[in-house]
Structure 1
Amino acid sequence: MNKEDLIKKWLDNSLSPEELEAFKKLEDYAALTKLSNHLKFFKPEAYATDKELETVMGKIKAQNTPTSWFKPFLRIAAILFLSFSIYYFASGLDTTIHTLAASKTLVELPDHSSVNLNAGSSLVYNKRAWDDHREVTLDGEAFFKVAKGAKFDVVTSAGTVSVMGTQFNVKERDSYFEVICYEGLVKVSHETQETYLRPGDSFLILDGKIIATEKTQDLGPSWLNNT
């Protein structure tokens, strides 16, 4: 395998143990790893639109000629720079919503699912990846009305809640994790355990222990109606 292929696989974190040993023997190994470590702390200005990213990519492509890439180290540096730029561009597509104390927020997701976010909570999702994977990350408490469609995941530090189309409440604060199903079917994944909830069922973890709960007759969480 030639040097450039080894470097590309290193950038993709796909080197086999044998290839990694060959990569470490490259004369540019020390310079490459040093440059990579410096770029980890580099944050380029975010691209505002896809059009701007295409413009930058076009300029880089236009410069990709034998005369402008004659120095191997410059070529490698450009590959590294582009890789980190694309990474920060992708991470910048996340949408984050925060609620302050004593406030609530209604969030409409790209598929018209809705999320009522309780006070002191945050929600993160990626618009670009939404059609491929309906996933949100929750810190705090929220009530979800999920439009029917592909699997919908709510990721928390205590566990993941997976549904298709339903209404449910998730609360995750400190050592408290609770999921209540009000409509449809909800799957809660905690460590190696999976629990399915039907309307009225709930799943509760307190201080790391799963607590048995009684069925609720409520049609929704009480905090939704609090002013």
Structure 2
Amino acid sequence: MKKDRLLAKWLNNDLSKDELAAFEASPDFEKYQKIKNYTDHLELDNPDENAMLANILKQKKAAPKTVPLYKKWAFQAAAVLVLALGIAFALKFSVSQTETADFGKKTTFSLPDNSEVVLNSGSEINYKKWNWNNSRHLKLQGEAYFRVSKGRKFEVQTRLGKVTVLGTQFNVKARKNRFDVVCYEGRVQVNYANTQILLTHGQSVSFQNGKQIKMKVNSLKPEWIDNQICFYQENIRSLLDEVERQYNITIELNTKDTISLFTGKLPAKDLNTALQIISTTYHLEAKKVSENKIIFDEK
């Protein structure tokens, strides 16, 4: 009640200097001062200051709404969970997906539109799931066979060139300076440097070191899917590179690279036969110095 007496004395200007200083330092002084300033302008007959004080003190302050601490914690936890799920969802579909085929292996997988891809040994594909049906675009390193579902434009980007289709079956190979595209069904548009070529069923195109070379299509699908390594006018180093990928081995060539170009097939599941064909063709002798290393010497 001491506070009430101080307020009454303040209204009557009966506070001492010490009491006035303490009262003005109180947290409610500003509120009382506003009330007093307002009432000083009112014209009342015989104002009853004591009654006014009683009415002020009777007024109840509105109780502030409070939220239990455990509820605040629950709300914050739920918000964090929703945010985390949103970030995880965005990352899953916006970050590039990578499919690889290690040396000595092949990988088959489906894209979001159910298009099928077969990756040859030592190859890699990158793409994004997000908005795939409206932007069917992927990057290829190596060689892959595609069975594309019908839909919007489908693009395969390589460092050597780009292939664009709608719905078809085709093979793309981009190794070093060699770029091969074969169309097995539908139509394929090939962009290489400043050249644009339209391929239809059974047609193909090849570029070697920036020059276009002719290549024939003799099958209904890529031979490598059936474990046959097919070459068309390939030099011996490119041939050996492909054998290394298919068998996951290392080959050392102790002879000058011959200028003779190889056209033919090698088995992808019979290393001894493949080595014998290479030795006979280039007059070399193959030595297996370890489980995963072959050396070719001149005879």
How do 1:130-169 residues align onto structure 2 when only pairs under 5 Å count? Answer: 130-169=132-171
Residue number in structure 2 paired with 1:218: 219
Larger radius of gyration: 2
Task: Write the mapping of 1:1-227 to structure 2, written as runs, cut at 5 A.
Answer: 51-52=83-84, 54=86, 89=91, 93-214=95-216, 216-226=217-227, 227=269
CA pair 192-120 structure 1, distance change in 2 beyond 3 A: same
Change (3 A) 1:55 1:159: closer
Regions of 4+ moved over 3 Å: 53-56, 89-92
Q: What SS does structure 1 have at the residue aligned with 2:84?
A: helix
What amino acid is the match of 1:102? Answer: G
What's the C-alpha RMSD, in Å, of the aligned pairs?
2.4
Q: TM-score, normalised by structure 1?
A: 0.60
Q: Cα deviations across residues 4-41 of structure 1 (Å, max 9, x unaligned)?
A: xxxxxxxxxxxxxxxxxxxxxxxxxxxxxxxxxxxxxx
Shift of 1:213: 2.8
Aligned length: 147
Cα deviation for residue 98 of structure 1 reads 1.2
| Partner Cα distance (1:206, 1:176) in 2 | 5
Deviation at 1:54, TM superposition (A): 4.0
Separation in 2 of the partners of 1:50 and 1:198? 50
Q: Name the SS of the counterpart of 1:131 in structure 2.
A: helix
8 Å CA contact 2:155, 2:164 repeated in 1 = yes
Counterpart residue type for residue 224 of structure 2:
W
CA distance in 1, matches of 2:207, 2:199: 14
Q: Is the 8 A contact 2:93 2:130 kept in 1?
A: no
Structure 2: state its 5+ residue gaps.
Answer: 1-80, 228-268, 270-299
Q: Distance in 1 between matches of 2:225 and 2:156?
A: 19
Cα distance per residue 1:176-225 (max 9 Å; x no partner): 100000000000011222100011111101112111233x2410010001
Offset at residue 50 of structure 1 (A):
8.6
The 2-side partners of 1:163 and 1:50 are apart by 39
Identity of aligned residues (%): 39
What is the distance in 1 between the residues matched to 2:93 and 2:87?
Answer: 19
Q: Distance in 1 between matches of 2:120 and 2:185?
A: 20
Whole-Å separation in 2 of the counterparts to 1:149 and 1:91: 20
